[in-house]
Chain A
Amino acid sequence: MTPTSIAFRAILEKDLRTELRTLQSLPAMALFAVTTFVIFRFGLDRTQLSGSLASGVLWATLLFAALLGVNRLFVAERQEGGFDAIRLAPIDRTALFAAKAAALIVYLAILEAIVVPVFAIFFLDSAAAIPPLAAVLLLTDVGLAATGTLIASMAVHSRARDLLGPLVLLPLVVPLMIAATGASRHLLEAGGPAYERFGTWLAVLGLYDLIFLLVGYAVFDFLLED
């Protein structure tokens, strides 16, 4: 293994161990998402959603739940000096970017494993859309993780980090959310999933992921400088 991959694994394992021990992010994310579904269910006064409306409810909820995780991503590094410890190590600092993005993908995947079935129970007439939806979820998670990690690493040094993170992140993820809702819309049609322009939307999601992974790789080293 290369020093960078060793560092990547060390940081990722550290983050997952810490989350498992403290449960600071995931329970809040899951509780937020489930509560939002309950509010939509009673607010819209509908026992079934389909198409664009179902897609919008799902992604708006997942996006704002993800923000809770993004905001906490670098808190330990800032409060406990982890940034300095990592900057003093002879490693490629993009290992930190990759590990934090991977940790966020894991959090989002666990969140979705909990709340997407809840969404299906609340709003869908069958679970047939869930398997193809998994591909959309995965590609969107990668994009959210790449963008979220980048913005969180910038915002964490600011006093207004709780405001600055969402303020910069939300406009940046608009294209991602358009592609995610576009890809999900036909999957969530009443009467079973349809695959109209599904491949195109997946390609857009993949392109977004690639762009922000490359941007993160290129600029992350500079973001860690004082």
Chain B
Amino acid sequence: MTAAIELRDLRHEFGERTALERIDLTLAVGETMVVVGSNGAGKTTLLRILATLLRPTAGSVEVLGCPLPREAWRLRGRIGYLGHEPLLYRDLTGRENLRFQARLHGIGDEEREARIEATLRAIGMERRADERVADLSAGMRQRLAICRCVLHEPELLLLDEPDSHLDEEGRERASALIGPGPNRTRVVVTHDPDRFEGEADRTLRLEIGGRAELEQGAALR
């Protein structure tokens, strides 16, 4: 089994408040881990640590073979991160935002346009892609954010409430881009574990105060 994520004794604190404490887990390549817990339990913190956006206070974190934060530079570009914010510029159009992201990820001109069109079609945004993001609804922005997240074909998807603001059609379309797939490793944060019941290989339950419980075959502490 090749590990995509290995956490050993992970701890994170914000000042005197412990957000995550003694988390040990291994997630294999191609597996999906669903992270659940009440508000403030540390779900987003965990995702941001895995995405290299936050340095852990203590413990070891290895993602796709890269120890963090030491080799974060080697990992960037291999992960797709979908957070609470769509990470899109409001005064640019959807297509301009995706071009900008593609250039940051070093995707060449011809391939860039082909990938942008393909993802926009897959998510059903090809007709609205030339409108400014500020003029789009929250659901449309979430669709664009999903396009941004997968545009560079990441090996690991870190998804924070990926269904938020999406209607039924949007959820179905999103599933093709960020749903389970061969060699697609995913960490999904959700308040609706039933929605991902058939997709989860593991479930990590986080509690306020930092404690964690891992279900389905991983080390429990």
**Footprint of B on A, CB under 8 Å?**
3, 6-7, 9-10, 14, 17-18, 21-22, 76, 80-82, 84-91, 225-226
Contact = CB atoms under 8 A, between A and B. Distances in A.
B104 A84 contact: no
B77 A89 contact: yes
A81 B83 contact: yes
A91 B104 contact: yes
A89 B73 CA distance: 9
A87 B92 contact: no
Contacts of B100: 10, 14
Contacts of A18: 89, 91-92
Interface in B103-142: 103-106
A102 to B, nearest CB: 16
Q: SS class of chain A's interface: helix, strand, loop or mixed?
A: helix
B76 interface: yes
B220 interface: no
Contact of B103 (A7, A76, A80, A84): A7
A151 B88 CA distance: 24
8 contacts: A14-B92, A81-B85, A82-B89, A85-B87, A86-B104, A88-B52, A90-B77, A90-B106
Nearest to B96: A17
A226 B55 contact: yes
A9 B109 CA distance: 14
Interface string B172-216: 000000000000000000000000000000000000000000000
B90 interface: yes
Given A88-B76, A90-B76, A226-B54, A7 B89 contact: no
Interface in B47-89: 48, 51-55, 73, 76-79, 81, 83, 85-89
B53 A84 contact: yes
B101 interface: yes
A84 B88 CA distance: 10
Given A17-B92, A18-B92, A80-B88, A85 B101 contact: yes
A10 B81 CA distance: 20
Interface residues of B, number: 29
Q: Give the 8 A-B residue pairs with the shortest CB-CB distance, closest first.
A: A90-B77, A89-B104, A10-B103, A81-B87, A81-B85, A85-B87, A90-B76, A18-B91
B77 A21 contact: no
A7 B100 CA distance: 9
Contacts of A10: 100, 103-104
A84 B101 CA distance: 12
Contacts of A85: 87, 101, 104, 148
Contacts of A90: 73, 76-78, 105-106
A17 B91 CA distance: 9
B44 to A, nearest CB: 12
Which of B48, B54, B106 has most chain A Cβ within 10 Å? B106
Contact of B105 (A22, A81, A89, A225): A89
Contacts of B89: 14, 18, 76, 80, 82
B53 A226 contact: yes
Interface-centre pick from A10, A82, A90 (highest chain B CB count, 10 A) = A90
A88 to B, nearest CB: 6
Contacts of B92: 14, 17-18
Contacts of B101: 85, 89
Contacts of B78: 90
A89 B51 CA distance: 11
Nearest to B75: A90
Contacts of B105: 89-90
A88 B86 contact: no
Contact of B85 (A6, A9, A80): A80
B81 A88 contact: yes
A18 B105 CA distance: 20
Given A3-B106, A7-B104, A81-B83, A88 B53 contact: yes
